[in-house]
Structure 1
Amino acid sequence: MLYLTLRHYEYICAVAQHGSLSAAADAVHVSQPALSAALSRIEDHLGLSLFLRRRGAALAMTPQGRLFAEKAQALLEQAALLEDPKAAGAGQKKLMLLCFSDLAPFLLAPALKALRLAMPEVEISHWACGFEPLINALSNGEADLAITYDLGLDAGFSRAELDRLSPHALVPPDHPLAGCGGISLAELAEHPLVLSQEGLSVHHMLGLFKTHGLVPRIAHRADSLELLRSLAANGEGVGISYSLPPGRMSYDGKTLCEIRVTDARAEEPVILAAHADLPETSAAYQAHGVLKEALSAPRSDLAQADHHID
């Protein structure tokens, strides 16, 4: 019968730390096949899947694996203390929080503040990124939670709705649409548009037009929200954005008018995404509750700064 030793715990922690089987094998001075076989035996002994194994993809930790690795690391550090009382104390729990890049200026800092107040013992890392790397990081077990729009995530993730936002059309003050109190997608389709270049964003917005049998004219696809707003402010097309930074000005100092898109289907939820099977003893489980309470609507600043998908 296999009994787990400190060496086995070192194997698991090495994979969690280095993120690849080959790098972990080098770190613990064993061959890659030997490490792979040892990890399989450890999982069989525990009756848990600690790692995600996908053909053609790097080895990654499951949520259970990340929690187990945290405890294993603490055990190794406690063992080191027995041998050397001057050694560093047990490590902190760790948490990786992702945020969709256009939501990050509005929500990431409040999220970090809430987490650090509620969970001072947890080491919190964060990353603001686009949809594709965000989804990949969640799927590969590299991240615990994500603040994002409900785009591209499969049924393996839970979703807690934080708010629901409408897109807005952005035009300069002298544009014919500037005085409108609201606008439909059908009306927008009559004008050249400025959309984001972000893949899922574009698909989302084009899908909205398609549901109404509309084919929009795209004048520009912008690399960033700031560029989208500048193009719209300079009359290069009608910008469509869920993000409305305060001030109604583009980065180059031009005034923008914001017109709410009235189609109900255009509303998009902002969600807190997590693995569906978070262990209740994990830092991620506790953080989920903290963020849901701290970020859920009503939030006047979020409502006034509708965020950009496209």
Structure 2
Amino acid sequence: MENHPFTIRQLEYFEAVATHGSLSTAAAQCHVTASGLAIALDELERNLGVQLFIRRKAKGATLTPLGAGLLPEVRMLLGNAGTLAAHALEAGDSVGGRLAVGCYPALSPFYLPSILEDFARAHPALELEFVEAPAPELHELLLQGNIEVALMYSADISRELAHDPVREYLPHVIVAASSPLAERASLSLAELAELPLIALDLPPSKQNTERLFARAGLRPRMSHSSLNFELVRCLVGRDLGYSILYQRPRGDLSYDGHRVVSVPLADTVETSTVGLARTAGSRMTRRTEALLEHLRAAPGAPLHSSPANTG
């Protein structure tokens, strides 16, 4: 049997220091003394015959170019080791281990609370973590093995990822309750194109909105854009423009107390699918299966599709 010049524990220490840039912070996360962690890193570098970090007193630790090149492979190895441990747990049909979940920020208020409370309560052996990030960052986090799954729109899924659908959504228009448009049964893209658009500028939201208009041979009149879902609703609530969104909160009040109203699009438009993304070809773990089942069956969640021709 081949003897490897490293241990899983040493790789965990290496990844922790690379992530935090500090031996003391990494040591606290790994529940080891800073001196013990430093000794383990010294041994790892000696056995590999390379320098992984440049360490400076009071300035933390910086990856060398070689260390930076090895980091994705180390994360993949650690991810595989975690999967192996999880599979052992699953042999007894239990759900446990570490589950790192990524989430597109506009989706997180609708999904993460239930995951962190209801799903976690149902599976107490799970160690849940979550990361919010735009779609391109989630893509890289998945490929690097930093997260196991991510809640993303299907439009963001490359060939390097698999996507297990959870729910479909129709885009809908939101306008201020004080606007005459709030009384309309539906609104067409043609009439909206003449009005100021307040866009959610988190990829792919803004791009999806622009595509809706482009497919109809139209171009929206962009007024404001924001990375913040609630700021978009606040600006709409003050009747500074309209927006086109996919997610629909239960309440109709913006953060600053102005009412917004949802109005269906009169045009025939495509739905958008939210699902759990993972690396293509990877085996779905029991914990991922359990999460997928939870998301598809969550009762009373404000995640229903926006039906056409309803308010």
Asked if TM exceeds 0.5, the reply is yes
Does the 8 A contact of 1:250 with 1:256 survive in 2? yes
Structure 1 range deviating more: 111-120 or 163-172: 111-120
Distance in 1 of aligned mates of 2:249 and 2:236: 14
Does the 8 A contact of 1:162 with 1:297 survive in 2? no
SS at match of 2:182: coil
**Which residue of structure 2 aligns with residue 237 of structure 1?**
241
Shift in Å at residue 10 of structure 1? 3.7
Does the 8 A contact of 2:119 with 2:294 survive in 1? no
Distance in 2 of aligned mates of 1:54 and 1:305: 48
Q: Deviations over 1:147-176 (max 9, x none)?
A: 121233211211111111112211123323
- For 1:250, give the aligned amino acid: S
Distance in 2 of aligned mates of 1:167 and 1:251: 22
**Which residue of structure 1 aligns with residue 293 of structure 2?**
293
Shift in Å at residue 241 of structure 1? 1.7
- For 2:100, give the aligned amino acid: M
**Which residue of structure 2 aligns with residue 137 of structure 1?**
141
Shift in Å at residue 207 of structure 1? 1.8
**Which residue of structure 2 aligns with residue 214 of structure 1?**
218
Aligned match for 1:67, one of 35, 55, 80 = 80
Shift in Å at residue 126 of structure 1? 1.2
Q: TM-score, normalised by structure 1?
A: 0.73
% identical equivalent positions = 25
Distance in 1 of aligned mates of 2:112 and 2:227: 21
The change in CA–CA distance for 1:236 and 1:38 in structure 2 (over 3 A counts) is: closer
Shift in Å at residue 37 of structure 1? 6.8
The change in CA–CA distance for 1:144 and 1:210 in structure 2 (over 3 A counts) is: same
**Which residue of structure 2 aligns with residue 103 of structure 1?**
107
Distance in 1 of aligned mates of 2:51 and 2:97: 25
Q: TM-score, normalised by structure 2?
A: 0.73
Does the 8 A contact of 1:63 with 1:144 survive in 2? no
Say if 2:203 is the partner of 1:204. no
SS at match of 2:207: helix
Provide structure 2 residue ranges, at least 5 long, that are not aligned to the other structure.
27-36, 53-64, 86-95, 307-311
Count matched residues: 269
Distance in 2 of aligned mates of 1:36 and 1:207: 52
Does the 8 A contact of 1:63 with 1:275 survive in 2? no
Distance in 1 of aligned mates of 2:177 and 2:254: 12
Shift in Å at residue 217 of structure 1? 0.3
- For 2:81, give the aligned amino acid: F
- For 2:14, give the aligned amino acid: V
Distance in 1 of aligned mates of 2:70 and 2:158: 20
Distance in 2 of aligned mates of 1:36 and 1:177: 69
The change in CA–CA distance for 1:70 and 1:303 in structure 2 (over 3 A counts) is: closer
The change in CA–CA distance for 1:255 and 1:153 in structure 2 (over 3 A counts) is: same
